[in-house]
Structure 1
Amino acid sequence: MSKLHSASEHVYREVKERILSADLPGGELISEGEIATAMGTSRTPVREAFLRLEAEGWMRLYPKRGALIVPVADGEAEHVISARRLVEADAARAAVAVAAVRSGLVQALRANLDDQRAAAAAGDVAVFSGLDADFHGLIVRAGGNPLLVAFYTGLRERQRRMTAHSLARDPLQLSSIIDDHARLADLIEAGDADGYDAAVHVHMRQVHRLALPGTTIGGGR
């Protein structure tokens, strides 16, 4: 690997991580120069990284002005959580139907919850948002359908960014998300796939401030 390619890859990963963790929020305009200075590199690898991020839809480049971090699109949260619910509900049903799979999944979920609590105690939203996505990913993988796993993996980055934005808006959600996850793990352990489906629906909509049918964001009728 050439030094230029290595530097470009490093910049790409670092800037993308800042986008996904909401350290670079949607709507912010950044320049090649400020990123190059911050990362101690020339502008060439930064330019290459920016082009790659633009191709993936995370940035919009404006010559001589800089790079705009593309905000979460209107309706994106609704679409992402609808797709997630369909996949997770199917995976949960498959996972709880096999005792050995269910037992292993519960153990993995409990371990993930311990890591979530540690990240929350440290106030590390970037790590927490990744663990949040991993928690749900464990359930999808336990379903045993590689096509759904691949589809869900494609949603992970969007999910992580949305969660990081929600936590940046309301850091107090950390504890409520952990409580919800503990409840979801309990439902898996109990073999209650229908209960999981209903609970994860409420959980995702509340985290991303999407009203449940028949309610307002504040919960009123």
Structure 2
Amino acid sequence: MQSPSGRDKAYEYVRDVVLTSPAAAGAFLNEQDLATQIGVSRTPVREALLMLQAQGLVELVPKRGAHVPPMSGRQLRELMDLRGVLERHAASIALRAKSAPVAQMRAILADQHQLADAPSDEAAKQFIDLDGSFHMALIDAAGSELLSTTYAGLRSRQLRAGLTALSTTPDRQQSVCREHGAIVDALESGDESAVGNAIDAHLEITLQALLRG
């Protein structure tokens, strides 16, 4: 297997480590600091930041560096609306095909339960990583490469939003587990309407937690 290029390493590090942190919102990123952290030169870091700028995840400001714009209330609503459309569509396809990944999603939920009361930042990050896996399992069950690719493209925004919701809402982990449980129960019942309602309720509660924060 070919090793990732310096640009790819820088892109993945900034996207998956730096930009997922709630503390990144509003901050400026220094190219040299990033290069040192990643172990590459500044050129691949610059290339990675240009890619991230094209995706709307950073803004390159002359003589200041890469600015990480906070997500506005409108952007958060749009993110949750898009997630809802994609997840409900995937659920509909999976239910018709009798391919709903109930066992896989229950296994991920069990791992989330084990982390729900852990107080550390690392546990919160693992919890949100599992959250992404939970929802991605449903998306992948639709068997659509384009659908999966589109949803995966929301990853950085979803991780930052999820970590922000955890940090601003007491016992949010336990609430997420209950909401995820409702989604899996509805999938297992085969009731498409109930699945849609459970997904919508989960995303709306998450949105309200973010708006309060």
Which TM-score band applies after superposition, normalised by the shorter structure? Answer: 0.7 to 0.9
Residue identity opposite 2:95 in structure 1:
V
Query: Aligned with 1:67: secondary structure?
Result: strand
Q: 1:181 to 1:44 in 2, by over 3 A?
A: same
Counterparts of 2:86 and 2:42, CA distance in 1: 41
Corresponding position: 1:86 with 2:85: yes
Counterparts of 1:90 and 1:47, CA distance in 2: 37
Q: Is the 8 A contact 1:87 1:152 kept in 2?
A: yes
Counterparts of 1:48 and 1:150, CA distance in 2: 22
Q: Which residue of 2 aligns with 1:51?
A: 50
Deviation at 1:209, TM superposition (A): 1.2
Counterparts of 2:78 and 2:108, CA distance in 1: 26
Deviation at 1:181, TM superposition (A): 0.5
Query: Aligned with 2:197: secondary structure?
Result: helix
Query: Aligned with 1:208: secondary structure?
Result: helix
1:110-149 equivalences under 5 Å are: 110-122=106-118, 123=120, 124-149=123-148
Deviation at 1:40, TM superposition (A): 4.6
Deviation at 1:91, TM superposition (A): 2.4
Deviation string 1:45-103 (CA, Å, 9 cap, x unpaired) is 3333322222222111222222211221441121122222222223223323444x24x
Counterparts of 1:6 and 1:48, CA distance in 2: 11
Q: Is the 8 A contact 1:21 1:125 kept in 2?
A: no
Q: 1:98 to 1:58 in 2, by over 3 A?
A: closer
Residue identity opposite 1:174 in structure 2:
Q
Residue identity opposite 2:111 in structure 1:
D
Q: Which residue of 1 aligns with 2:37?
A: 38
Deviation at 1:24, TM superposition (A): 4.4
- Is 186-195 or 150-159 further displaced after alignment? 150-159
Residue identity opposite 2:104 in structure 1:
A
Long gaps (5+) in structure 2: none
1:1-221 equivalences under 5 Å are: 6-22=5-21, 24-99=23-98, 101-102=99-100, 105-122=101-118, 123=120, 124-170=123-169, 172-209=171-208
Q: 1:90 to 1:190 in 2, by over 3 A?
A: same
Counterparts of 2:204 and 2:124, CA distance in 1: 19
Long gaps (5+) in structure 1: none
- Is 39-48 or 127-136 further displaced after alignment? 39-48
Counterparts of 1:164 and 1:193, CA distance in 2: 29
Counterparts of 1:23 and 1:15, CA distance in 2: 13
Residue identity opposite 1:115 in structure 2:
D
- TM (norm. structure 2) is 0.81
**% identical equivalent positions:** 32
Counterparts of 1:49 and 1:150, CA distance in 2: 19
Q: Is the 8 A contact 1:24 1:69 kept in 2?
A: no
Counterparts of 1:41 and 1:171, CA distance in 2: 39
Greater CA radius of gyration, 1 or 2? 1
Deviation at 1:155, TM superposition (A): 3.1
Deviation at 1:188, TM superposition (A): 0.8
Query: Paired residues, what number?
Result: 209
Query: Aligned with 2:66: secondary structure?
Result: strand
Q: 1:167 to 1:111 in 2, by over 3 A?
A: same
Residue identity opposite 2:86 in structure 1:
V
Deviation at 1:110, TM superposition (A): 0.9
